[in-house]
Structure 1
Amino acid sequence: MTGYASAQHGASVEGGQVPQASSRLGLEIRAVNSRFLDLSFRLPDELRALEPALRSLLTARLKRGKVEVRAAIDSNDNQALSTPSATQLQRLVNLQDSIQAWLPKARELSVADALRLCSGSSGPANDWSEIAPALAEQAVTELLAARAREGERLAVMLLDRIKQLRELAKTATPLVPLLVEQQRQKFLERWKEAMALSEGTASPEVAQDRALTEATAFAIRIDVAEEVTRLGSHLDEIERLLKKGGDIGKRLDFLIQELHREANTLGSKSATLELTRISVDMKVLIEQMREQVQNIE
């Protein structure tokens, strides 16, 4: 299911005798619908080593969805930058010369690099190694709460579709006996016409028996009682799962497939436009349910 959650943590970083800047760790989790769990991370270099721990946390608490985790370490640049001392700059030059002696292709430090290293406004990844997982836990909890609220809305929609499917099944059930009786009368009329053409050479009893046999075969072909019964059973199970809650997504997937199968069979047995319309209406409702069920964990 879709969802969004964010969490922030601010920490004051001091250099020398006065605070130089304020750094803040911000973490966002975005989730969109997907049948499977698909995780992606956009982390700064300082937090790259924490990706396995974050992945383990999300895998343990999420089952479905295309989930993107973004994190950023921001520095408050509103305060005036401190001027690096000559000692700090000299040390950076010495370190750069030593590194380039061993790595000639290493790039030279920029002004931004020098200011950052001298001010200490961006700490190493270890500064956030304990904060980031706790922050992710907070964000995941908020995400699950948001998805739970969406799940409640989806449950209301699914229960409404279940009610409509029950009404359609209820409408279809009495149509079959009426169709059988109408067809029986048609068969009898056809055999009476055949009797008239045969000028009495055929037995009326034989003709009537043949008509009733044809009507019985017709009734068997169009009987949808079994399909309607199974459809009702599947609807009962879906309703039970929705009220129970928990990890029910995959079971709902299977039940929706079975609903679609029964609606198709009912349509294939249709002998009138009315039954065909009912079958089509059922498949439209089931398709609406299928699209939403794929988003439920």
Structure 2
Amino acid sequence: MTIASMTGFARIAGGAGAYSWAFELKSVNAKGFDLRLRLPQGFDPIEPEARRRLGEKLHRGTVYATLSAKREAESPEIRINQDLLGKLLAAVQGLDLPAGVAPARLDGLLALRGVVETVDAPESEAALDEARLGALKNLDDALDALVVMRRAEGAALGKMLEARLARIALLTQEADACPGRQPAAINARLRQAVEALCENTSLDLNRLHQEAAILAAKGDIREELDRLGTHASAAGALIAGGGPIGRKLDFLAQEMSREANTLSAKSNDAALTAIGMELRIEIEQFREQVQNVE
């Protein structure tokens, strides 16, 4: 299983009978899963099923799912009000028309309001049910296309994350091998500091040596280096395993950042401080890229 990003887009159109529709999906980065589903009038009954299908395949990100649909207008039904037309004819026939006035014609009577009515063709519930089922089928197709796009971007993202982890591991090894943290170098710096302080004859030399030993212990970065290596290995294993691992990677990135900050704070060597700075930059860039992982 590969990792997936949280960004993607898919659009699938379909139609049946008088209905045509299009399902559009768009996803962007988010801390959790936020589904925003919009359905047109008449398609509300498919909302629970649509939400279930979207939630099964997508685990993180803000997802905008929009169904647009329209129904082609059918020829209206024309009806003649026979009762009203009969009454009009009877009324006209009983009129005594003055000379020069022609009797009313049928086309004139039909033009009167209420004689001819146009009625829209009734909406077929069976046709609407067929359109709903077709829309759900297109939702599945759009979901498959969206997942393919997110995984393709995730594969490229995974390579970049692995490269960052390799760089973090290398810098951790360089910090471990840094000449400035070797016992001989540490002893030399402490000896120089102690000798400088010993010029003040009022100091308790035994106490001074105890404090020097405590400072040397506090400046040791062995634990930080070990934890950095462990976290980097765990992150690499997660990427290799794939799946929705974004939150776990983000947690590990925070932990690595904390260890790198502690390492830099403990450092009393210029070369080690420079390595610590590079570590912090690499880890921050790693964490920024992790924000795109599902």
Bucket of the pairwise TM-score, normalised by the shorter protein: 0.7 to 0.9
Residue-by-residue CA offset, 1:165-222 (whole Å, 9 max, x unaligned): 122212222231265133134135426745xx79xxx9xxx96x87765553332121
Structure 2 counterpart of 1:132, from 132, 135, 150: 135
Is it true that 1:275 corresponds to 2:272 in the alignment? yes
Secondary structure in 2 matching 1:39: strand
Given that residues 187 and 212 in structure 1 are in contact (C-alpha distance below 8 angstroms), is that contact kept between their aligned partners in structure 2? no
Identify which of 152, 157, 164 aligns with 2:155.
152
Structure 1 position 251, deviation (Å): 2.1
- 1: CA distance, partners of 2:65 / 2:142: 10
* Match among 172, 178, 181 for residue 187 of structure 2: 181
Name the CA distance, whole Å, in 1 between partners of 2:233 and 2:293.
18
Which of these residues, 4, 8, 27, is aligned with residue 3 of structure 1?
8
1:200-249 deviations in Å (ceiling 9; x for gaps)? xx9xxx96x87765553332121111101110011011111111112322
The structure whose RCO (Cα within 8 Å, separation 6+) is larger is 2
Cα distance in 1 between the residues matched to 2:186 and 2:164: 30
- Please list the CA deviations of residues 128-158 of structure 1 after superposition, one character each: whole Å capped at 9, or x if unmatched: 2211222111111111111111111111111
Residue 44 of structure 1 is matched in structure 2 by 40
Please report the TM-score for the alignment, with normalisation by the length of structure 2.
Answer: 0.74
Give the 5 Å matches for 1:103-252: 117-118=120-121, 125-173=128-176, 174=178, 175-177=180-182, 179-187=185-193, 189-190=195-196, 193=199, 213=210, 215-252=212-249
Write out aligned runs for 1:14-29 (5 A): 23-29=19-25
**In the alignment, which residue of structure 2 is the partner of 1:55?**
51
**Distance in 1 separating the partners of 2:74 and 2:242:** 57
Please state how far the C-alpha of 1:12 moved relative to its aligned partner.
3.9
Q: Distance in 2 between matches of 1:45 and 1:52?
A: 15
Q: Quick one: which amino acid aligns to residue 247 of structure 1?
A: P
Q: Which has the larger radius of gyration?
A: 2
2:64 alignment partner, SS class? strand
Distance 2:34 2:74 in 1: 44
Structure number having the greater helix percentage: 1
Conserved in 2, the CA contact under 8 Å of 1:227 and 1:266? yes
Equivalent residue for 1:69? Answer: 65
The question of whether the paired residues in 2 share the 8 Å contact of 1:184 and 1:211 is answered with: no
Greater shift in the superposed pair: 117-126 or 240-249: 117-126
Q: Which amino acid aligns with 1:184?
A: L
Partners of 1:229 and 1:223 lie apart in 2 by: 12
Corresponding letter in the other structure for 2:137: A
Q: Give the distance between the partners of 1:265 and 1:82, measured in 2 at CA.
A: 74
- What secondary structure is seen at the aligned counterpart in 2 of 1:246? coil
Give the C-alpha shift of residue 254 in structure 1.
2.2
* Identity value in percent: 33
Check whether the contact 1:2–1:33 (CA below 8 A) recurs between aligned residues: yes
- 1:31 alignment partner in structure 2: 27
TM-score scaled by length of structure 1: 0.73
Aligned to 2:78: 86
Return closer, same or farther for 1:84/1:7 CA change in 2, 3 Å cut-off.
same
